[in-house]
Copies of this chain bind each other. A is one copy, B any other.
Amino acid sequence: MNEIDLNEIKSPADIRKMSIPELKQLAAEMRAALLEKLSVHGGHVGPNLGMVEAVIALHYVFDTPDDKIVFDVSHQTYPHKMITGRMKAFTDPAHYDDVTGYTNPAESEYDLYSLGHTSSAVALAAGLAKARDLQGGKENVVAVIGDGSLSGGVAFEGLDYGATLGTNFIVVVNDNQMSIAENHGGIYADLRLLRNSNGTAEPNLFRAMGYGYRYVHYGNDLASLIEMFRAVKDIDHPVVVHINTMKGMGLPVAETDKETYHYTGPFDLKTGAPLHEEAPQTQAETYDEVFARGMLRRMKENEKVVTITAGTPGVLGFDKERRREAGRQFIDVAIAEQSAVDLASGLAKGGMRPVAGFVSSFLQRAYDQFSQDIALNKQPATFVVFYGSMFGMNDETHLGFFDIALLSNIPGLLFLAPTCKEEFEAMLDWSVKQNTMPVVVRTPGAVAVSNPDIKLLDDYSQPEYEIVRQGKDIALIGAGLMYGFMAQAADILAKDGVNVTLINPRNLSTLDTATLDSLKDYRAVITAEDGIIDGGFGQKVASYLGEAPVKVINLGLPKEFLNRYNYTELQERCGLTPAQIARTALAASK
C-alpha cells in the first residue's frame, strides 16, 4: 500500500473513502506523527496513543459534524484534531502550538466544548440529545468517556438521566484500565469482570443503569470498532459501547508505565526516556516534592495522619515508591473530588488527621462538600491547593486563580497562604496537630520559594499579620507568592529613600483588624494576591478600610478565563512586577 499523505486529510470526509487496510495505514502514520510531536513537545501521551483507532472509527462511521461527539476531559482528542482539519499542528513543528490540548469550539466546528475537567460529557451529551428530540432532529449523539473519568459523580448523574431519554444516545466508555494512576473503586472491578468475560458477565453496571450494552474487546482494532459503531449508529435507545483499549499504545514504555506517560514532557523517541532540556532554574524544587517528603515524615511521626488524593497522586508528589512507603496511610479515591472531601470529613470525625491535596482548578468540583461536610461540621481536615497561582497551569480549563475567592468566603474554613516553603511546612505541621478547625493551605506557586528568615508561628488559627518591615505612609500587603514581589518592591522603594510597611497576611479568610486599624491613617494600602481580585482577599481589606481616609489599591488578576497566556505578560498586565508595584506605591504616596 502507498503511504498516506497525512496533510491531505482535511476533514473526516477524506477518511470515509478509505478501505480498512488504508485506515490501518492511516492509524499507523497518525500514531507515528503523534509520537514524533509528543517526543518533542510533550503532552497527554498515553490517552492519545490509545485512542487513535477509536477516534478514526468514530469519524468514519458517524456523520460528524452533523452527528455530535462530546469527548470527556478531551485531553485524548489529538487524533480527533488531526482528522478534523488540524493535521498540520501534528505534522509540522512550526505549527505544534496552533492547537490547544483540549477540544475547543474556537478551533473547529467538530469541537463542541472546551472541556478539561472530567466526567461531564455524558450529561452534556444528554442535553444535546434532548435538544435534538425536542426539535425533531435525527442526528446521533455520542459521548466518549473513560480514561478514569467514569468515577466522577457527574458522570453517574449524566448516565442516570441519559438512560431515561428513550432515544438515540450512545456512550462510548474508553476502558484503558487506568485513571491517571491505577484505577480505584467498585466500578472498576465490574469493568474488569466485563473485560474478562468478553462483556457477558453480570452484574453489569451499565445495564443496571438502564442502558443497552455492547463490548469491543479489541479496542484498538479498526475493523472491530467500525463494525460496532455501525451496529449502534442510529440506534433508537441509550446504549453503552464499552471498548477495551491500550493506553500508551505504540510507545512500549508508555504501555508498561502508564502512569508516567499519562502526561509527560519531551522524551527520547526510541527509549521513551525523559529529556531534560529545560533551563536549570526550572529544575528547582517543586511543591509536590516538599509536600510529599513532609507528609511522609508526618505520617511516620503520627499514624493518625493520612494523605488523600482524588486520582492525581503525582500532583502531590506521591509516586509509586512513596505510595508504597506510605502504605495504608495514602488513599486514592479515584477522580472523585466530592468523595475525597467527604472521606476526609469522615476520617477527621473518626479521629484521624486527613490531609487531602488537589489541583486548584479541580477542588471547585467539591464546593458543596467543603461548605457543608467540612466547614459547617467543623471537621479538622487539611486541604492543600496545588497550582493555585497565575504561574500554575495556563489552559483556560485548568486555571489556578479562582480558589481564593471560592474557599476563603466559606464560614469557618481557615484559608492560609504561605509565602515560602518554610512557612508552608510550618502551617502544615500546625494543621495536622490541631483538631478544632478545617484548614486550607495553598502552595505559593509551583516552584518552591525559600525564605529562611520567615517568622514562623506555633499556631495559625487566629489572623495575625506579620509586619515584616515597619515603614510609614504606604503599606504593601502581599499574600502568598505575591509577598515576594512586594518585598522586592519594598527594596526598590527603600533605595529611593521611601520606607514602606511590608506585611505578610498569612490568613486570607479572616482579617487581622488590629493590624489593619494601624494603617487607617496611612496614605495607601496596596494588596496583592495570586488570584482574581473579585471576591478575594484585597476586596475584604478595601471593604474594611472603606470608611478610613487611607486609599486602598487591590492588585490581582482579572475575572477572565484566560487561555494559554504568557506568564510574564500577565504579570505585567496586572501590575504585579516588583517595579510596577513600586511605581504604584510611589504614585499613591503623593
Which A residues lie at the B interface, using CB under 8 A? Answer: 105, 112-117, 120, 123-132, 134-135, 151-164, 184-187, 189-190, 202-205, 207-211, 238, 303-304, 306, 328-329, 331, 333-334, 336, 338-339, 342-352, 354, 364-365, 367-369, 371-373, 375-377, 396-397, 402, 405-406, 408-412, 524, 532-536, 538-540, 542-543, 545-547, 551-554, 559-561, 588
Contacts and interface: CB of A to CB of B under 8 A. Distances in A.
B376 A134 contact: no
B205 A202 contact: no
Contact of A208 (B130, B205, B342, B524): B205
A42 to B, nearest CB: 24
B409 A344 contact: no
Contact of A185 (B164, B373, B408, B545): B164
Contact of A411 (B210, B346, B560): B560
A158 B120 contact: no
A120 to B, nearest CB: 5
Contacts of A187: 160, 163, 208-210
B538 A376 contact: no
A112 B372 contact: no
13 contacts: A116-B372, A120-B338, A120-B373, A124-B346, A127-B350, A134-B304, A153-B154, A157-B338, A158-B342, A364-B368, A365-B367, A406-B406, A538-B543
Nearest to A310: B157
A543 to B, nearest CB: 4
Nearest to A413: B559
Given A208-B208, A376-B396, A347 B130 contact: yes
Contact of A151 (B126, B157, B405): B157
Contacts of A126: 339, 342-343, 346
Contacts of A238: 186
A542 B551 CA distance: 11
A352 B133 CA distance: 11
A329 B411 CA distance: 38
Contacts of A336: 157, 160-161
A333 B157 contact: yes
A552 B376 CA distance: 31
- Pairs of residues from A and B, 5 with the lowest C-beta to C-beta distance, nearest first: A127-B346, A153-B153, A131-B350, A163-B186, A186-B210
The residue in A163, A303, A372 that gathers the most chain B C-beta atoms within 10 A of its C-beta is: A372
B127 A344 contact: yes
Contacts of A588: 547
Contacts of A560: 411
The residue in A112, A350, A405, A412 that gathers the most chain B C-beta atoms within 10 A of its C-beta is: A350
